[in-house]
Structure 1
Amino acid sequence: MSRYCSKCGKANKACICQWIQNLASNVELIILQHPNEQNRPLGTARILQLSLANSQVFVGENFSNHQQLNSLLNESDTVHYVLFPNDDSKLLAQEALPSCAKKVRVILIDGTWRKAYKIWQLSSNLHTLPSIHLPEGLKGQYLIRKAPSENSLSTVEAGYHMLSILEPERDFSPLLTAFEKMIQFQIDQMPKEVFEKNYRE
């Protein structure tokens, strides 16, 4: 008998499936995942993938010649964006979306900041797409993973905020609920002094 859930891929005792809800979204998601993130017990991209039927994950580091991704990017009836802050990125706002587009597809990069930046650097096919960033001031709740700043967001948090801005009429809060339950389970497994020393300083 496998020690891992066949659906979410996490250890059976840490399975997150009970907190996953199927959510409808008009915005499609493509998650470009660094290989280092693929089997992380606390990876959050899986929450998006399980919750949103119109999302998919591609694993790699250089997506320039990725056949599936390039095929999607060539769809003429779809407008693509990359959620990645850079010198040319624009603030994400619902009003910024073209009203004539039949479909909107957003690319998220899943990895530590350094790994995500490497994907961005290597994947030349992303550089021709309009890039967007989230509003300043959003604070991440990834309490048990070191982050470069308090406004660093996990992939699922970034996805939640992005979808909530683009589709304010929908409730995407179950994404954060699953994330918070996953984090709390891990905290509950730690001795209190370990959590306080390593994550509350």
Structure 2
Amino acid sequence: MSRYCTQCKKALKACICQWISPINSTTELLILQHPSEERRPLGTARILSLSLVNTRVLVGEDFTDNETLNRVLDDDIETSVLFPAEHATVLHRQSSNHDGASPKRFILLDGTWKKAYKIWQLSKNLHALPQVKLPEDLQGDYRIRKAPSENSLSTVEAGYHLLSLVEPECNFGSLLSAFKNMIDFQIQQMPPDLYRKHYDND
């Protein structure tokens, strides 16, 4: 008998499926995931892919010649990369009236900042796409993984804020609820002294 959930791929005792709620969203998310994140217990991309029908994950490091990605980029859907380049356009809250609006797709890079940056550097087919970034005043709540700055966000937090800006009429709150429950569960498994030491050093 497998020790892992067949749906969320996490250990059975850490299964997050109970906290997942389906969300109808017209915006497509394409997550390019570094291989080191694929089986990481605290990875959050799985929350997005399980919750949102229009979300899929591709695993790799250099996507320049990735047939699936290149086939996707050849279609007519407007596609942007969420990447905090200096010249990236800051996303702002959109009008809630999406009647007749063309669907949009956003690419998210899933990995530590260093590994996400490596995906960006290696994947030349991303460089011609429009780049967007989230407002800089957002703060993450990834309490048990080190972050380079206070406004660093986990993949699910980035997805939540992005979708909330482009589809304000839709409630994406269950994404953060699942994320919080996952983090709380992991903290409960840690000895208090270990968590306190880890938290104080972040």
Q: TM-score w.r.t. structure 1 length?
A: 0.95
Percent identity reads: 59
TM-score by length of 2: 0.95
Q: Where has structure 1 moved over 4 Å in runs of 4 or more?
A: 98-101
SS of match in other structure, 1:143:
coil
1:92 counterpart residue number: 91
Structure 1 position 158 matched with structure 2 position 158: yes
Structure 1: runs of 5+ lacking an equivalent: none
1:32-181 matched pairs, under 5 angstroms: 32-76=32-76, 78-95=77-94, 102-181=102-181
Task: Name the structure 2 match of 1:31.
Answer: 31
Asked if the contact 2:94/2:167 (under 8 Å) is kept, the reply is no
**SS of equivalent to 1:49:** helix
Distance 1:187 1:84 in 2: 30
In structure 2, C-alpha distance between the alignment counterparts of 1:26 and 1:11, rounded to whole Å: 31
Find the residue that maps to 1:9 and give its secondary structure.
coil
Deviation at 1:95, TM superposition (A): 4.6
Deviation at 1:20, TM superposition (A): 0.2
Residue 94 of structure 1 and its aligned partner are, at CA, apart by: 4.2
Distance 1:137 1:93 in 2: 12
* Structure 2 Cα separation of the partners of residues 121 and 99 of structure 1: 37
Return the alpha-carbon distance in structure 2 between the equivalents of residues 100 and 150 of structure 1: 38
In structure 2, relative to structure 1, the CA distance for the partners of 1:10 and 1:177 (3 Å cut) is same
Alpha-carbon RMSD across the aligned residues, in angstroms, is 1.6
**SS class of match (2:48):** helix
CA contact (8 A) 1:89 1:133 kept: yes
